[in-house]
Amino acid sequence: MKKYTYTEKKDTRSGFGVGLHEAGQKNPNVVALCADLKGSLKMDAFANEFPERFIQIGIAEANMIGIAAGMTIGGKIPFTGTFANFSTGRVYDQIRQSVAYSDKNVKICASHAGLTLGEDGATHQILEDIGLMKMLPGMVVINPCDYNQTKAATLAIAEYEGPVYLRFGRPSIPVFTDPDQKFEIGKAWMVNEGTDVTIIATGHMVWKAIEAGEQLEAMGIDAEIINIHTIKPLDEEAILKSLRKTGCVVTCEEHNKFGGLGESVARLLSTELPSPQEFVAVNDSFGESGTPDELMTKYGLDTINIVEAVQKVIKRKK
């Protein structure tokens, strides 16, 4: 197992904030819109340096999406910022008609996704957003795994023409990817090559997958670990190549098992390479109040859950 270490923990939303600021320095057409969560989204650096390009919308997410769509007409590249719940479910029809169907170059940037939002509870913890966004034709869906990858993804989507959903989170988690990485939209990252099982993980679950890989190694199981940061378009080639070698897969995501990364992988495999699959995901449930760690444990999104899913799926191999 390839060794991964970290020297610090940071939140992915801060990676977004730094990436947005840098994107703004690189391209004067980048504009940022925020629905009264500038601090939470770490948009202060951008807002301070480019006040004329920062638009405070107020608590009016529908209006924010519509204004962002309109701002693309004339060449601006709008990044909208609010929590994932208010970035998607609250404004689904605005995104559908004014952004996706109208093919507008809007970047919907969503923080505090999933259970790790923590104490605010289920009203704010969306676990359905990946599904909502991936169903929209033409929408790119990205869920990076640490601070560095989120920063790189933010810079990459500024250069991509078309609607994007960028999902990140609140808690501080290990920073283990390369600070100077080149982010390729739609390209899987091979975290560790292995032969017995493929573990496919996105977002906060990638570090847990690495921890699981180390535990599995001690048990004599050689796990291949793939980071799918871009859920749509899915890197089908990388997944199929891995499954041809390992013959079984565990998918890991901080999302409802319905509509998420796991289902995208299952759809691919069912038509191209039917394989045993286990899902480490929330079991069709809302969340609740608690610390991020407590919630990840209670809802079955811990390292141990990945290990157990791997043991189960390997037994199902013919």
Partner 1 sequence: MKHTINELEDIVSQVRRDIVRMVHSCQSGHPGGSLGCAEFLTALYFETMNHSKDFNMDGAGEDLFFLSNGHISPVFYSVLARSGYFPIAELATFRKLNSRVQGHPTTHEGLPGIRIASGSLGQGMSVAIGAALTKKLNKDHSLIFSLHGDGELQEGQNWEAIMFAPHNKVDNLIATIDYNGQQIDGPVEQVLSLENLQTKFEAFGWHVITSNGNNMEDIVKSLEYAKSLTGKGKPILNLMSTQMGHGVDFMVGSHKWHGTAPNDEQLASALNQNKETLGDY
Residues marked active site are found at: 61
Are 265 and 188 in contact by the 8 Å Cβ rule? The answer is: no
Q: By CB under 8 A, is residue 26 in contact with partner 1?
A: no
DSSP for 160-209 reads S-S-EEEE--SSEEE--S-TTPPP-TT--EEEE--SSEEEEE-TTHHHHH
Q: By CB under 8 A, is residue 93 in contact with partner 1?
A: yes
Query: Exposed/middle/buried for 161, CB within 10 Å: 0-12, 13-18, 19+?
Result: exposed
Tell me the C-alpha distance between 94 and 88, whole Å: 9
Q: By CB under 8 A, is residue 58 in contact with partner 1?
A: yes
Nearer to partner 1, 97 or 270 (CB): 97
Site string for partner 1, 218-247 (x = CB under 8 A): ------------------------------
Residue of 43, 67, 126, 306 interacting with partner 1 (CB under 8 A): 67
Structural element, H or E, at residue 94: helix 92-94
Shortest Å, Cβ 89 to partner 1: 15
Site string for partner 1, 103-142 (x = CB under 8 A): xx--------------------------------------
Tell me the C-alpha distance between 213 and 44, whole Å: 38
C-alpha separations of 87 from 78, 216, 231 in Å: 14, 37, 17
Q: By CB under 8 A, is residue 161 in contact with partner 1?
A: no
Residue 107 phi/psi, 5-degree rounding, is -110, 110
Nearer to partner 1, 96 or 298 (CB): 96
Shortest Å, Cβ 29 to partner 1: 9
Only one residue has tokens 């909502």, namely 132
Q: By CB under 8 A, is residue 66 in contact with partner 1?
A: yes
Interface with partner 1 by CB under 8 A: which residues? 31, 52-53, 55, 57-58, 60, 62-76, 78, 93-94, 96-98, 101-104
